[in-house]
Chains A and B, each alone.
Chain A
Amino acid sequence: MNAELLALIQMAVGGGLMGMAYALVAYGFQLTYAAGKAVNFGQGELVMLGAFIGLSLAGIGLPYWAAVPGAMVAGAALGWFVERAAVRLALQQRNEGWILLTIIVGLFGVSAAENIWGREDKPFPVPWPDGALEFFGISVTWPELAIAAGALGMMALVELAKRYTMPGIAVQAVSADPDSAELCGIRSKSAISLSWAVSGAAAAFAGTIIAPVTTVGPTMAAALTLKAFSVAVVAGLDSGFGLVLAGIALGSAENLSGFLLGSGWREAPGLILLILALALRPQGIFGKKIIRKV
């Protein structure tokens, strides 16, 4: 295979693997949107806080396998807090204040991280081996594989829980119709809280799996919210499978445009995709058009 083509494939594969992380963060949007019709625009900051908490837990001597769940528990608590503190009140008053409020909570998270952990980028220790694997001339590192496996695994787990556990079914019922769900004895507020907690846990988990690649710093996920939002909008806010495809596509497109047009153009595809999706197919490529009966 010629070197030029191989280089392009290498870039696409590397980007695609990273794109799985976008998909996982976007999945967090989907969860809360389904249950409560709101998303957390500070999701990227939850990713960052999750990574920092994981790093701190590893720093006090916990093994990796304990630090990651620890970060997820903290992420769940943060997600729950964002819903209670920023979203619920605004939605009760039927206004869009939650958009700004979630952004503000996120900014507060950045300030908190700067004060607690400092502004330096810190390496995140992992148990995987150093070095890379090669498949047909394409190099892939263990942390990259961990992102892909972790993102897919996490999403699969939550999807299973949604279908086969009582709380999961309750959340789905609330997503479908909160009023009918209430009539069946489901407390919709609890279901919404649960979805935010799971979304927060997913974000924190995303933080711990991307941190070995990006290093941990207060600004590590600054662009992540927007990218994940692009993925969520392109895929539609109700297709988990679409998220993975859109995430891979966006990650690859970013890497390829950086490679072909120069590193300054890396961020362009995400924005272009977002604009196109909003203009041409607001319900998402994989989304269903919701017909409201009046």
Chain B
Amino acid sequence: MKASRFILTALLSTLLSTGAMAADVVKIAITGPFSGGSAPMGLSMRDGAKLAISQINQSGGINVGGTKMKIELIERDDEGKNDRGALVAQEISAMGDISAVIGTVNTGVAVMGDKYYVEKGIVKIITPAAGSASMTQWSKVGTKDLPIFRFAAHDGIQAQMVVEQAIRLGLRKVAILHDATNYGVSGRDDLIEQIKKQGGKLKVVAIEKFAIGDKDMTGQLIKAKVSGAQAILIWGIGPELAAVASGKEKLGFKVPMIGGWTLSMSNFIDTAGAAGNGALMPQTFIEDESIQRARPFIQAYHKAYGVAKIPSPVSAAQGYDATMLLAEAIHEAGSTKPALIKASLENLKTTVKGAIADWKKPWSKWDPSNVETHEAFRRTNTVMGKVKNGRVVLANPSEKGVLEGKKTK
């Protein structure tokens, strides 16, 4: 009898304590392509976020309404595939105890999967997917209450910068190359729209597309070359961008390649080698330790993962800053409930010092007629990067001040 009572108490106390333990953690999911062509972005984003999480947990966790709560991480590989991404989103939204999700690299994955989070009201910070469609899909249907936020320089900004750069270089005729994914197609449309918006100074002489997995871009490039293009404006991901760079070199087609931030992916830079030099792309972060603000993050990343080069510095820094912002929002909400976290993300009171900038109220109340309310980045905190001997450096050194945080919104 005595023994059974003892066992009962022991069982009860373990039950209670596991219950208490479960209440003491904040569950966050990170999703992205950890394999496949977009993996450098997915892995860097994840590792940047994990760096933030380990720093937060080492300091005891997030203070949620007086209790210190550690972050518990759930990771899912969406392989950069739309259907797989939708399954992952379904799974995570069905778990029931996830407070927020960070991630998504491929715009198509956000388009296919985010509806499950919206249905359940689960907070998601999209980073680093840049395609316009992942936010405009909600403004188009006029969603009133949106738990999806973006922490990336969206393609609208990027296309604007690409066109600005082409005009700055004094070009008149350009060719647009893009991949056949949601990302590539919406990038092409953004470019065409921006060219119109910026006074039609550029003439598009060729528009060519390519598929994921294409290795031979000679055909598309010959058409661009024959039509007299002075630059290639391009929207695609690493492996195909590299194929375009080597095709350009093969044909002796020495024109600048300007495109989305994906031109900073390691699988573009490493595969293209010398042929990739000079490629220009918008960046929110440059892996350059001479930038005061960026140095601590860069050093911590190198040390934590034993690397000398971050595969995708932009993704890593965005993953890190997004996690810091989310942690602050959970703290300010004083709860792990997604609805309250969403409300505090829309109205952050404390400025968060990140690796990219000092984030002062990056998002505001969602307004379906203005996607900018849930977009953290503006043209003013984005710079132009350039590939130089295997790394991305500032294309215009005068923009260093932007990254130091002299101009944040």
A interface residues, Cβ below 8 angstroms from B: 3-4, 7, 10-11, 14-15, 18, 114, 118-123, 130-132, 134, 139-141, 213-215, 219, 255, 258-259, 262-264
Contacts and interface: CB of A to CB of B under 8 A. Distances in A.
B83 interface: no
A3 B226 CA distance: 7
Interface string B37-55: 1011000000000000000
Given A219-B213, A263-B210, A139 B220 contact: no
Interface stretch (B266-274, B279-287, B294-302, B374-382): B266-274
Given A119-B39, A258-B219, A263-B210, A130 B273 contact: yes
Nearest to A223: B213
A119 B251 CA distance: 29
A76 B273 CA distance: 32
Given A120-B267, A264-B211, 16 more contacts: A7-B226, A11-B222, A114-B35, A118-B35, A119-B36, A119-B39, A120-B35, A123-B270, A134-B252, A140-B250, A214-B215, A215-B215, A255-B218, A263-B208, A263-B214, A264-B180
B222 A123 contact: no
Mostly, the B contact residues are helix
The list of the 6 closest CB pairs from A to B, nearest first, reads A259-B219, A119-B35, A7-B222, A123-B271, A132-B250, A214-B215
Contacts of A118: 35, 39
Given A120-B267, A132-B250, A215-B271, A259 B222 contact: yes
A14 B211 contact: no
A120 B37 contact: yes
Nearest to A260: B219
B249 interface: yes
B249 A131 contact: yes
Interface string B351-391: 00000000000000000000000000000000000000000
B92 to A, nearest CB: 22
Contacts of A121: 37, 239, 267, 271
A134 B215 CA distance: 21
B226 A14 contact: no
28 contacts: A3-B226, A7-B223, A7-B226, A10-B218, A10-B222, A10-B251, A11-B219, A11-B222, A14-B218, A18-B216, A118-B39, A119-B35, A119-B36, A120-B267, A121-B239, A130-B273, A134-B252, A139-B252, A140-B250, A141-B246, A141-B250, A215-B215, A215-B242, A219-B213, A255-B216, A259-B222, A263-B219, A264-B211
Nearest to B240: A121
Query: Which among A3, A120, A140, A259 has the highest number of chain B CB atoms within 10 Å?
Result: A120
B251 A139 contact: yes
A123 B213 contact: no
B209 interface: yes
Query: Which among B208, B251, B252 has the highest number of chain A CB atoms within 10 Å?
Result: B251
B275 interface: yes
Chain B interface size range: 20 to 34
Contacts of A141: 246, 250
B252 A132 contact: yes
Contacts of B208: 263
B239 A139 contact: no
Contacts of A7: 222-223, 226
Given A14-B218, A120-B37, A263 B211 contact: yes
B268 to A, nearest CB: 11
Nearest to B213: A219
Contacts of B273: 123, 130
A3 B242 CA distance: 25
Given A131-B249, A132-B250, A263 B222 contact: no
Contact of A14 (B35, B213, B214, B216): B216
A9 B81 CA distance: 37
Contacts of B210: 263
Nearest to B239: A121
A139 B250 contact: yes
A212 B370 CA distance: 47
A4 B226 CA distance: 8
Contact of B209 (A10, A255, A263): A263
Contacts of A120: 35-37, 39-40, 267
A15 B218 CA distance: 10
A134 B252 CA distance: 9
Interface string B197-226: 000000000001111011110111011001
Nearest to B311: A120
Nearest to B33: A119
Interface string B243-280: 00010011110000000000000010011011100000
